[in-house]
């Protein structure tokens, strides 16, 4: 459940189980299931609730299975999961790397502390995907006032670059064509003198038919190196997800963000001018405490001024234990809904504008599925879903597609 980092964590768990002789099955398998592992999410109150609903649904559908819950919600809501009757074992985030110690348990457990070391060195296992993830960084030291992630995932730490290179090669050997480098904030990656730019350059130098995608990052000085690499090396996907959160400096300050709107715009415009066709995505929070109508409109104007390819819109969700949960001047739910809808309409406009800009261009797509009617479906390097008709198409292969038209949020060629 949840973000790409959670997907990478799940793959690491899969890898350990596979090495121990377990068979990994699809979540909706009809046959008997011995163990169900839920890697929960806690980024919003809604995400926590969905995690809990899913656990209870698993118990109803598979009453004989052993259910194990780990992930961010198990870390920040320990008391709830300790007492949840649907769960056989709960493992806070630091313990998920030792899941095999408990899968035949429950064992007596002393809760591990969040350490400033990187523990996850197993190669991830992706039985149902062409795309694979490598977790290169964990934790966050930013402590934005609204965010539960630093409490759920602990301090920043980075994986040794030699381990990253080793896992990258293994994933290529397994046939993966797209590998996503992920973490809470990969722009803070550091192994000695090596930063994110250096590790990306080293991976790109490996021979093979593959591409690299970067997960969510920040308008960090380290990322300016990546713009140059992305411009000159087609193996690095033209994609950056830069969480803005708000377009008014007054609200950014209340959020504890480490940049101004002007600094964000400077970075975004450099990326757009340097890398034609780049998919620039972002996250935006509406209804943050103190967000007046004036600040909201200011944020909308700023967002519209940047040629984003997509927005992920979130209504402010107070998370117990974060400073913003106790802030005054909270927005009424009805007004929150109106602002959310305005941002979603803005997202539709921006996404449509970006897709229109790609018509008439040839995009290299990674084919993920081939339908019986001959249609192939895949994703371009700049993260657009593309459907086309082509002969001898195979899942897991690359193909160049001339884009002819738009259908909703899909391009066709």
Q: Read off the pLDDT of residues 262-296 as tens digits, 9 standing for 90 and up.
A: 999 999 999 999 999 999 999 999 999 999 999 99
- Alpha-carbon distance of 104 to 130, in angstroms, equals 31
Q: What pLDDT score was predicted for residue 78? A: 76
Give the list of residues 6+ apart from residue 182 with CB closer than 8 angstroms, or none: 4, 5, 7, 8, 133, 134, 135, 136, 137, 215
Residue 107 above 60 pLDDT?
no
Q: pLDDT confidence of 303, banded at 50, 70, 90? A: very high
Going 9 to 15 to 20 to 22, the CA torsion angle's sign is positive
The Cα 295–Cα 316 span in angstroms is: 15
Residue with tokens 């602990």: 154
What average pLDDT does the chain have?
87
The vertex-180 CA angle with 179 and 181, nearest 5°, equals 120
Beta bridge partners of 385: 379
pLDDT > 50? residue 378: yes
C-alpha distance from residue 141 to each of 145, 224, 252, 261 (Å): 12, 21, 17, 21
Span 114-131, average pLDDT: 55
Segment 313-331 mean pLDDT: 92
* Polymer length in residues for the chain: 413
- Banded model confidence at residue 200, pLDDT cuts 50, 70, 90: very high
Does residue 218 register a pLDDT over 90?
Answer: no
% of the chain surpassing 70 pLDDT: 91
Q: What is the pLDDT of residues 230-267, one digit of tens each?
A: 999 999 999 999 999 999 999 999 999 999 999 999 99
The answer to whether residue 169 scores a pLDDT higher than 60 is: yes
Query: In the prediction, which pLDDT does 108 show?
Result: 43
Q: Is the pLDDT of residue 202 over 90?
A: yes
Q: What integer is the mean pLDDT of 283-312? A: 97
Cross-strand pairs, 132: 179
- 98 pLDDT band, cuts 50/70/90, is confident
Give the rounded percent of residues in the chain with a pLDDT score beyond 90: 55
Q: Are 213 and 181 in contact (CB under 8 A)?
A: yes
The tokens describing 110, both together, are 């002393």
Give the lowest-confidence range in 77-81, 136-140, 323-327, 336-340: 77-81
Residue 370 vs residue 120, higher pLDDT: 370
For residue 15, give the nearest of 140, 157, 155, 121 by alpha carbon: 121
Whole-number pLDDT of residue 50: 84
């Amino acid at each position: 459940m949840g973000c790409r980092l959670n997907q990478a964590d799940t793959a690491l768990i899969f890898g350990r189980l596979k090495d121990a002789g377990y068979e990994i099955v699809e979540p909706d398998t009809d046959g008997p299931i011995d163990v169900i592992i839920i890697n929960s999410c806690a980024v919003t109150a809604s995400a926590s609730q969905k995690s809990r609903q899913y656990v209870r649904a698993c118990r109803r559908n598979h009453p004989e299975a052993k259910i194990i819950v780990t992930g961010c919600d198990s870390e920040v809501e320990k008391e709830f999961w300790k007492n949840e009757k649907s769960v056989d074992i709960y493992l806070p985030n630091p313990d998920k790397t030792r899941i095999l110690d408990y899968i035949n348990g429950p064992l007596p457990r002393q809760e591990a502390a969040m350490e400033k070391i990187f523990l996850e060195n197993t190669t991830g296992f992706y039985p149902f995907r062409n795309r694979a993830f490598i977790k290169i960084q964990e934790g966050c030291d930013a402590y934005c006032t609204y965010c539960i992630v630093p409490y759920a995932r602990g301090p920043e730490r980075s994986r040794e670059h030699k381990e990253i290179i080793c896992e990258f090669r293994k994933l290529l050997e397994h046939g993966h064509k797209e590998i996503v480098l992920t973490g809470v904030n990969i722009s803070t990656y550091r192994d000695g003198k090596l930063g994110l730019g250096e590790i990306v350059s080293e991976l790109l130098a490996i021979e093979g038919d593959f591409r690299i995608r970067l997960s969510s990052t920040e308008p960090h000085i380290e990322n300016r190196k990546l713009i140059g690499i992305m411009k000159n090396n087609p193996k690095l996907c033209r994609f950056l997800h830069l969480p803005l959160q708000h377009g008014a400096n007054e609200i950014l300050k209340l959020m504890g963000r480490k940049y101004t709107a002007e600094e964000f715009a400077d970075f975004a415009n450099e990326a757009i001018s340097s890398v034609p066709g780049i998919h620039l995505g972002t996250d935006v929070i509406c209804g943050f405490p103190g967000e007046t109508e004036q600040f909201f409109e200011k944020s909308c104007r700023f967002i519209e001024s940047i040629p984003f390819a997509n927005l992920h819109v979130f209504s402010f969700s107070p998370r117990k234990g974060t400073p913003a949960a106790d802030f005054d001047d909270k927005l009424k739910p009805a007004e929150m809904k109106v602002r959310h809808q305005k941002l979603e309409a803005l997202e539709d406009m921006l996404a449509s504008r970006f897709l229109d800009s790609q018509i008439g261009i040839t995009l290299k797509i990674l084919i993920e599925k081939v339908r019986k009617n001959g249609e192939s479906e895949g994703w371009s390097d700049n993260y657009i879903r593309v459907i086309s008709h082509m002969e001898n198409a195979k899942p897991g292969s690359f193909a160049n597609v001339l884009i002819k038209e738009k259908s909703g949020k899909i391009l066709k060629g």
